[in-house]
Structure 1
Amino acid sequence: MSDRRPPLPPFSFETAVQKVRAAEDAWNSRDPARVALAYSPDSTWRNRSSFIKGRAQIEAFLVAKWQQEHEYRLIKELWAFTGDRLAVRFAYEWRNNAGQWFRSYGNENWAFDANGLMHTRHASINDVPIKEAQRLFFWDRASPRPAEHPSLSELGL
């Protein structure tokens, strides 16, 4: 697989939106190996209180994450962009092993290298318990979010 991940910086509004949607689709696949390939080999993350470095640690982190977060559905939205940096807001729904549903809200700051690989990711995330009846994210888990599914802004989140 190539170590180039178009669209490449510097980002326009259109290419920034494409990059965010590509990340959303990859994360919704819940395939840790696929997701990890979007990051540079020496990528650094801060995810909540975890500090992660490199693709192997990213992949291991995601394996553990998705063993705990069942029926995961994520929506990302571009917040701001400039040059090689994107700011993203997101929300995702999931249930834990005990069956409790959550909606997790957050913001991410991303920085990319010239090949379009993310070399830095800072994520701040808050989890809010919800009832199953409060869920808003519905689509076949094996598929990307359908184009007709509302965005975060359309859902008022």
Structure 2
Amino acid sequence: MTADVRPPVPPFTEETARAKVRAAEDAWNSRDPERVALAYTEDSVWRNRDRFLTGRAEIRAFLAEKWERELDYRLRKELWAYTGNRISVRFTYEWHDVRGQWWRSHGNEQWEFDAAGLMRRREASINDLPIEEADRTLR
């Protein structure tokens, strides 16, 4: 198997879709833009909130900027639906800004994969709520 294959690959079953979601959660919680970017095709297309990105280089730069701003980031993803080469997830993550304000971000993502299991499209809708540090649930 080559480095360009990211199992599990489509078509997804419930078991392989859950494994794909767990792998994504683990990668994002590493807060390593290099590691995370390798899960996407070279020409992957993203919508993240109001930003539109194309390609691994833009994704990598976006993630580096994100984790410089969203400190002590911790994420949980949950499988919502799957079919063929697509997976939908719900997620929650918590982080704080440089002023110490904690945030909880909720969202939904739709993912589309190529035959090698690399994500070629990601659509993310996200809302942020300020929280008190004592109200954190993700540690």
Task: Give the TM interval when normalised to the shorter protein.
Answer: over 0.9
Percent sequence identity is: 65
- TM-score between the two structures when normalised by the length of structure 2: 0.98
Structure having the higher strand fraction is 2
Aligned CA RMSD, in angstroms, stands at 0.7
Question: How far apart, in 1, do the equivalents of 2:97 and 2:62 lie?
Answer: 16
Aligned to 1:3: 4
Which ranges of structure 1 fall in alignment gaps of 5 or more residues? 139-157
Structure 1 position 123, deviation (Å): 0.1
Map of 1:153 onto structure 2: none
Mapping for residues 22-61 of structure 1, pairs under 5 Å: 22-61=23-62
Task: Provide TM-score, normalisation by structure 1.
Answer: 0.87
Q: Secondary structure at the match of 1:61?
A: helix
Q: Superposed, which structure 2 residues align to 1:31-110 within 5 Å? A: 31-110=32-111
State the match for 1:141 in structure 2: none
How many Å apart are 1:108 and its aligned residue? 0.1
Match of 2:16 in 1: 15
In structure 2, the residue corresponding to 1:33 is in which secondary structure?
helix
Q: For residues 113-136 of structure 1, what are the alpha-carbon distances to aligned partners after superposition, in whole Å with 9 as ceiling and x for unaligned?
A: 000000000000000000000000
C-alpha separation between the residues in 2 aligned to 1:3 and 1:129? Answer: 39
The total of aligned residue pairs comes to 138
Alignment of 1:99-138 (within 5 A): 99-138=100-139
Q: SS of 2:138's equivalent?
A: coil
Shift of 1:22: 0.1
Which contiguous aligned blocks of 4+ residues in structure 1 show a shift greater than 2 angstroms?
A: none
